[in-house]
Amino acid sequence: MITGELKNKIDAIWDTIWTGGITSPITVLEQITYLLFMKLLDDNQLKAEANASILGVPLKSKVFQDGICVISENPHVETEYKNLRWNVFHNFEPGEMLTNIQNYVFPFIKTIGEGKDTAFSRYMKDTVFLIPTAKVLAKVVDGIDAMDMNNKDIMGDVYEYLLGKIAAAGENGQFRTPRHVINMMVELMQPTLKDRILDPAMGSAGFLLSSAAYISEHQKRELMRTENMKYFKSGMFSGFDTDQSMLRIGAMNMMLHGVEDPNIKYQDSLSGENTEREAYTLVMANPPFTGSVFQEEISKDLLALCKTRKTELLFCALFVKMLKVGGRCASIVPDGVLFGSSTAHKALREELVENQQLRAVISMPSGVFKPYAGVSTAILVFTKTNAGGTDKVWFYDMHADGFSLDDKRSPVEQNDIPDIIARFHNLAGEETRERTEQSFFVTKEEIAANDYDLSINKYKKTEYVAVQYPPTSEIVAELDRLQESINQEMAELKQLLSLEG
């Protein structure tokens, strides 16, 4: 989330490039992310080198080697590897720095992992470095140097903010999920190295990144095994999108976080071209809201489950189809999915309740996606069984997520997220909760009797507390006393005025 000082620094970088002659918003956005990637690549290796030095061991895997680098785009061009590193070239004179990036650094980063058909190599090969002048480049580099780069997903945050800035976000109901909400969903699902993880509407790969970070933290020992690390780097994570820029950012993001070859590809997940079925053990997503697609392009098995053009319903149907039996899903949906009265809405909810195991509905306040949208949303958590299994559904009414629910989204003390995670992982303790509390169970039978309505307000009870008022005689006596006091003060005021006259 971009706020305050960081927002001002990014605005300044944007204005510098714009003033320098690049007036296409998407081009500005991409040039900024390429430079961020250059810096983060070097930052990552600097940290790794420092850790290796402390431990007294050689650094095995590194992007920037020692000695001379031959630029594969032009075998006659070579430079020292150190000149490709941000911490070195950012001290060059502006003209020398521009030449260095154009001729050496940018061609080099495009060919990282060369010879392998990776997501990164696919989506970087046609990119072009377009910063026009040395003066503009120097200002942008200084601006990036002044930014705090300790944020785990700074590229995703910058991309989110710039999309909002150019009014490109939200045209099809697409809003990047706040990182703390992504992290909450990952904590709820607790991915492991046994999972195969998918986000079929991946954007800048936030769910995949958070899952990778969770596994790296909680399964350090298991990752030390060669076969597990190989799976982690190539095969475990998949993401689809129809935005080439998003795919590029996602591929760069994953590489920066140690996932060298995720299955990231350009694909309309809802179309008949997506033939993957029962292939994943965990799906986490925030699919487009309120969008629609051409009926003839939608995969027929999705229409068989719920006949509609609404993307928020079709994606939920897709999750069911793409999960293996026993696979789990956590997805953000607009509130309309929970209570919509159309045949497709009801059919989808009935599918989740009757044929799968719907585990939880977590209602979120409408300000979670501000400043980009004020839409009310919820998180659906279910397990694919194809044989039912829903006995009762856990509902939680989130009031606060740690940030103000206005456009500023400033940090606040109120935060239900730790409570949501703790209670979800101890559902046995929720059995005695009353409908007047923030979380409670609702039986499948009651949900079915209410047309499979999943909105929490349908089941939440309001507790009315009786207010005790004093007897009427006491109220009248108090009014008389007040009136007498007013009359006395008015008399004194009139006397004062007459004396002055």
What is the pLDDT, as a whole number, of residue 25? 79
Query: How confident is residue 171, by pLDDT bands cut at 50, 70 and 90?
Result: very low
pLDDT tier at 407 (50, 70, 90 boundaries)? Answer: confident
CA–CA separation, 303 and 297 (whole Å)? 11
pLDDT over 90 (residue 144): yes
**H, E, C per residue of 193-219:** CCCCEEECCCCCCHHHHHHHHHHHHHC
Q: Is the pTM of this model over 0.85?
A: no
Provide the pLDDT for residue 169.
Answer: 42
Instruction: For residues 279 and 290, give the distance between their C-alpha atoms in angstroms, rounded to a whole number.
Output: 27
For residues 263 and 417, give the distance between their C-alpha atoms in angstroms, rounded to a whole number.
30
Give the C-alpha separation, 447 to 454, whole Å: 7
What number is the average pLDDT over the span 117-139?
87
| Rounded-to-integer distance, Cα 239 and Cα 155, Å | 17
How confident is residue 39, by pLDDT bands cut at 50, 70 and 90? very high
Please give the Cα distance from 13 to 144 (Å, whole number).
Answer: 8
Mean pLDDT, range 272-280, rounded to an integer? 95
pLDDT of residue 172 exceeding 50, the answer is no
Residue 168 has what pLDDT?
A: 43
Give the C-alpha separation, 444 to 287, whole Å: 26
Q: Look at residue 152 in the predicted model and tell me its pLDDT.
A: 61
Residue 216 is encoded by which pair of tokens? 């790296």
Please classify residue 340 by burial: count the beta carbons closer than 10 Å to its beta carbon, then call 0-12 exposed, 13-18 middle and 19+ buried. Answer: buried
Q: How confident is the model at residue 214 (pLDDT cuts 50, 70, 90)?
A: very high
* Interval 82-107: pLDDT, tens: 999 999 999 999 999 999 999 999 99
119, 120, 208 from 113: Cα distances, Å: 10, 8, 20
Q: What's residue 166's pLDDT? A: 55
Q: Where are the alpha helices (DSSP H) in 294-335?
A: 300-305, 311-322
- Residue 121 has which token pair? 């190599």
Residue-wise pLDDT for 415-437, tens only, equals 999 999 999 999 999 999 999 99
Residues 6 or more apart from 489 whose CB is under 8 A from it? none
Work out the pLDDT band at 448, boundaries 50, 70, 90. Answer: very high
Phi, psi (degrees; rounded to nearest 5) at 149: -100, 15
Three state DSSP letters for 420-484: HHHHHCCHHHHCCCCCCCCEEEEEHHHHHHCCCCCCHHHCCCCCCCCCCCCCHHHHHHHHHHHHH
Structure tokens at 201: 């509407």
pLDDT in tens, 326-341: 999 999 999 999 999 9
- Torsion 141-147-151-157 (CA) sign: negative
* 187 φ/ψ sector (left φ>0, alpha ψ -120 to 50, else beta): alpha
Statement: residue 471 has pLDDT above 80: yes
pLDDT, position 116: 63
Q: What is the pLDDT of residue 441?
A: 98
E strand or H helix that includes residue 358? strand 357-364
